[in-house]
């Protein structure tokens, strides 16, 4: 417990160039994955029909997908669902149909059962494509509004360079989460989107705690350089950051492994976000603010003008 009783003296800013290179690689990889693979949109966004199928014996997801594609069902998504005998089949509508037309035995269910002998339908869900498009638009708008609101708040509360650094960190974190979802073809639905928005708030909390300590240290450590002030602030809040991140990571990890497949997307996005968000609070937000030339004069209150009270 000695680690938590005394402030550490780790020179975080000495590795800022290597951290910047790592961030650039991860960010570039995520953008590449999103461009090449895109996101595997959930039924919430695409619209269409989703069938929960169960088999009497373990089923090979790849073979099931190939069988459906050979039956003429394009852009079909097949994923494991809880056990090796259960799968979720998501079918994107090829044209605008009504809900009734999509979920009839003749329209969707019967062809799927014909392509996958032995399967039994346990549940069928449908969502219209117009609703899915509206959800995608509002989800993107929610992320943009969150980022803009955060930038304005920090600019007023602290300083413009802090606002730019925190905004870069808050863009950095969701893009990496989306890149992982894209590369490994994890389904991205409304629950995963909620996790991305949660990560933005989580990362912002750590960043503001560090920035607040930086502002105090600039006023208290008169002879320290900006890099020394930033290192001191990170070390002073390090025990809090580690304890908070470790506890939260434990909870979401339990949710991922024990919570069932319906919350896998949320838990996975949170796990990635906690790790990347903690890293970005230290190496992205603060480092970028220093790169922009942050110094003591930017955070000290303006001097009061002397008033001549002589008659």
> Residue 240 — very low, low, confident or very high, per pLDDT cuts 50/70/90?
confident
What SS3 class is residue 176? helix
The beta strands (E) that lie in 24-160 are given as 40-41, 48-54, 77-81, 83-91, 120-127
99 pLDDT more than 60 = no
> Residue 129 — very low, low, confident or very high, per pLDDT cuts 50/70/90?
low
Give the model's pLDDT for residue 2: 44
pLDDT (mean) for 94-110: 55
Token pair 């929960």 in the structure block, residue:
52
Residues paired with residue 48 on neighbouring β-strands, in sequence order: 127
Sign of CA dihedral 286, 233, 277, 14: positive
> Residue 302 — very low, low, confident or very high, per pLDDT cuts 50/70/90?
low
Domain at 2-39+132-299: CATH code:
1.20.1640.10
Give the model's pLDDT for residue 271: 94
Give the model's pLDDT for residue 306: 46
Burial 33-46 (b: 16+ CB within 10 A, else e): bbeeeebbbbbbbb
Give the model's pLDDT for residue 102: 43
> Residue 308 — very low, low, confident or very high, per pLDDT cuts 50/70/90?
very low
Cα→Cα distances 86→65, 81, 82, 287, 311, Å: 13, 5, 7, 47, 90
What SS3 class is residue 11? coil
Give the model's pLDDT for residue 77: 77
pLDDT (mean) for 69-84: 79
pLDDT (mean) for 61-75: 83
72 pLDDT more than 60 = yes
Domain boundaries, the chain: 2-39+132-299, 48-127
Domain at 48-127: CATH code:
3.30.70.3400
Percent of the chain with pLDDT over 70: 86
Q: Pick the residue with more confidence: 185 or 129?
A: 185
pLDDT (mean) for 186-192: 85
Token pair 């003296």 in the structure block, residue:
9
- Mean pLDDT for all residues in the chain: 81
**Cα–Cα distance measured from residue 176 to residue 64, given in angstroms and rounded to the nearest whole number:** 30
Give the model's pLDDT for residue 116: 86
């Amino acid at each position: 417990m000695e680690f938590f009783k005394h402030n550490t003296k780790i020179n975080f800013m000495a590795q800022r160039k290597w951290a910047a290179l790592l961030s650039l690689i991860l960010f570039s990889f995520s953008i590449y994955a999103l461009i090449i693979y895109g996101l595997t949109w959930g039924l919430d966004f695409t619209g269409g029909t989703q069938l929960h199928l169960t088999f009497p014996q373990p089923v090979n997801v790849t073979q099931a997908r190939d069988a459906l594609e050979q039956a003429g069902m394009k852009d079909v998504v097949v994923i494991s669902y809880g056990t090796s005998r259960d799968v979720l089949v998501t079918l994107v509508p090829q044209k605008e149909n009504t809900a009734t037309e999509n979920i009839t035995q003749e329209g969707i269910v019967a062809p799927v059962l014909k392509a996958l002998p032995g399967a039994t339908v346990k549940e069928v869900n449908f969502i219209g494509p117009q609703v899915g498009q509206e959800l995608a638009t509002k989800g993107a708008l929610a992320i943009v509004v969150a980022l803009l609101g955060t930038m304005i708040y920090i600019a007023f509360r602290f300083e413009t360079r802090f606002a730019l650094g925190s905004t870069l960190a808050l863009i950095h974190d969701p893009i990496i989460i989306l890149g992982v979802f894209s590369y490994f073809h994890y389904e991205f639905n409304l629950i995963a989107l909620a996790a991305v928005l949660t990560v933005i708030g989580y990362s912002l909390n750590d960043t503001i705690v560090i920035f607040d300590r930086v502002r105090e240290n600039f006023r208290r450590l008169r002879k320290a350089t900006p890099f020394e002030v930033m290192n001191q602030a990170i070390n002073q809040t390090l025990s809090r950051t580690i304890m908070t991140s470790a506890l939260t990571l434990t909870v979401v990890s339990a949710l991922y492994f024990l919570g069932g497949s319906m919350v896998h997307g949320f838990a996975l996005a949170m796990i990635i976000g906690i790790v990347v968000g903690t890293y970005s609070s230290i190496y992205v937000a603060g480092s970028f603010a220093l790169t922009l030339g942050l110094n003591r004069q930017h955070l000290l209150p303006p001097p009061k003008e002397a008033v001549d009270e002589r008659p």
